[in-house]
Structure 1
Amino acid sequence: MTTAVDNTKSSDYIKSLQKPTSGKTGDANTGASSLGKDSFLTLLVTQMQNQNPLDPQDNSQFVAQLAQFSSLETMQNLSSSVDAIGGMYQSTQALQASTLVGRTVVVDSGSTYLEGGKEISGSVSLPDTSTLTTVKVYDSKGNLVRTLDLGEKKAGESAFTWDGKDEEGKGLDSGKYSFVATGSIGGKSTTAKTYLADKVTSVTMGTAGSPMALNLADGTTVSLSKIQKISL
């Protein structure tokens, strides 16, 4: 007389995999835990051990399950490799960015930090020829302290230098100063982009979804992509 094998073991094991498990990431809606490759293989072995000898599992189904297991393992290994490469890339970026600390960079910015007694260099980017080009300098309180007259400038970048003094020739205190450049193009006043020199004080490591950034002396933060020039 043949004794039938209890087929409830396999289904019980499947149900146990679907129960929420503390410390595991699961589906927020169903509460089911993630089915990893180890659980998948255990499930496959359990099915083989508990199949009905009078009605065994079809070979083609086992082959299909093995193929799924192989595909799952390959995807997980690939994901681990990509994560490792991403970590190495971020570390390389961090080393490169750390060499910029203490150095002066020219960035696409409307403000910079003035160290008392020193000059500020920058440039104005014009889309077309400007018959009258000016750069107005404001202090941290928004007060206009200096207007630089650059005269007529052609399309492209035009360099300028501010000596750190006000209209009366008095040296200004150290701090953050903003720059607004305008040009008269075709008879209309047009705001122009400014590129200013500033010192890098530290580097902020990027997190998931955000790039690495440079912290400047004027208190602003810019991405590496905004750097135009690097000087000693």
Structure 2
Amino acid sequence: MASVNDTTAGVNLNDVIKASAKTTTTQTGVASATNSSTGGKTLGKDAFLQLLVTQMQHQNPLDPQDNSEFVAQLAQFSSLEGITSLNESVTAISGNYKSSQALQASSLVGRSVIAQTDKAVVDTTKSLSGSVVVPQSVSSVTLSITDKDGNVVRTIDMGAQAAGNAAFVWDGKNGSGEVLSPGTYNFKATTTVDGKAMEMYTLLPATVSSVTISQTGGEMMLNLAGQGSVALSKVQTIGI
């Protein structure tokens, strides 16, 4: 503490701050005083103010602190306090966001959703309703349904469609009218634009079995029963 109590030479606060940033174990003078005040931790606003007051108390009476430099140090203190408050606010917001995500995730498990996906777990004793995302007006849309082995079991001609979501219903039967076995089926919608084949997105029903929450602030992922994962932003509708 000899450097702080020395009244023959002023202690400059900027030097204190610079010295406190050093990590060597041979710190002396003002840097040692800073570590003593902060316990070796990052210089906070309380330690900053304490050092500022100490500087004023032990300044050289023959060469007092310049007013402009003193004002600049006060401005530094104000900025430090503002940054500290901002960090606390951001930390609180982050905590609230994670809590909100966890609550939202728990409410989604077991729910039925309509998501952007190309496969669905189908109970063939009932009809399945879905839709095709048509980007522009087209003269025809063809929907192909394949089983888990990749065999085409049904082809549905949806005809001309305007831009938007074109709904379809599959009764769970193949082209011969036979009821197929329940299971996972793939859906592929195609059309022709300017003589070129184009594949379109399908929106199909699914059940949320679990939810994966990102620990890095990324998007929440819904794990769909028998269908893999899909981002929450890909979900169009959430039902019961």
For normalisation by structure 1, the TM-score amounts to: 0.76
Q: 2:164 aligns with which of 136, 153, 156?
A: 156
* TM-align CA RMSD: 3.3
1:74 equivalent among 72, 79, 82: 82
Partner of 2:28: none
Among candidates 157, 172, 178, match of residue 181 of structure 2: 172
Distance in 2 between residues matched to 1:21 and 1:230, nearest whole Å: 57
Match of 2:23 in 1: 20
Name the aligned partner's letter for residue 131 of structure 2: S
1:74-223 equivalent positions in 2, closer than 5 A: 74-115=82-123, 117-167=125-175, 169-175=178-184, 177-185=185-193, 187-223=195-231
Task: Name the structure 2 match of 1:27.
Answer: none
Q: Which amino acid aligns with 2:183?
A: S
- Which residue of structure 2 lines up, in the alignment, with residue 59 of structure 1? 67
CA contact (8 A) 2:132 2:189 kept: yes
Provide Cα deviations, 1:145-170, integer angstroms capped at 9, x if missing partner: 33223233333222112334444524
Equivalent position of 2:34 in the other structure: none
Answer whether contact 2:10 2:60 (CA < 8 A) is retained: no
- Whole-angstrom CA distance in 2 between matches of 1:9 and 1:65: 13
Tell me: CA distance 1:39–1:196, structure 2 relative to 1, closer, same or farther (3 Å): same
Q: CA deviation at 1:226?
A: 1.9
Residue by residue, what CA displacement relative to the aligned partner does 1:88-119 show, whole Å, maximum 9, x if unpaired? 24423432342221111111222233346444
Structure with higher helix content: 2
Name the stretch that deviates more: 131-140 or 5-14: 5-14
Deviation at 1:193, TM superposition (A): 1.8
Alignment correspondent of 1:5? 7
Structure 2 spans left out of the alignment, 5+ residues:
1-5, 26-40
Count of matched residue pairs:
219
Which 5+ residue runs of structure 1 have no aligned equivalent? 23-32
Q: 1:133 to 1:42 in 2, by over 3 A?
A: same
For 1:75, give the aligned amino acid: I
Measured after TM superposition, the shift of residue 136 of structure 1 is 1.5
The letter of the residue matching 2:218 is S
Rounded Cα–Cα distance in structure 2 between residues aligned with 1:142 and 1:56: 86
Q: Letter of the aligned partner of 1:172 in structure 2?
A: S
On the 8 A contact 2:112/2:208 being kept in 1, the answer is yes
Q: 1:123-156: per-residue Cα shift (whole Å, max 9, x none)?
A: 0122334333211123445443332232333332
Distance 1:13 1:184 in 2: 72
Q: 1:21 to 1:193 in 2, by over 3 A?
A: farther
The CA distance in 2 between the partners of 1:201 and 1:162, in whole Å, is 24
Q: In structure 2, the residue corresponding to 1:122 is in which secondary structure?
A: strand
1:173 deviates by 4.4
Preserved contact between residue 101 and residue 213 of structure 2 (Cα < 8 Å):
no
Identity %: 49
TM-score, with structure 2 as normaliser:
0.74
Query: Counterparts of 1:69 and 1:14 in 2: how far apart (Å)?
Result: 11
Other structure's SS at 2:108 match: coil
Greater shift after overlay, 96-105 or 180-189?
180-189
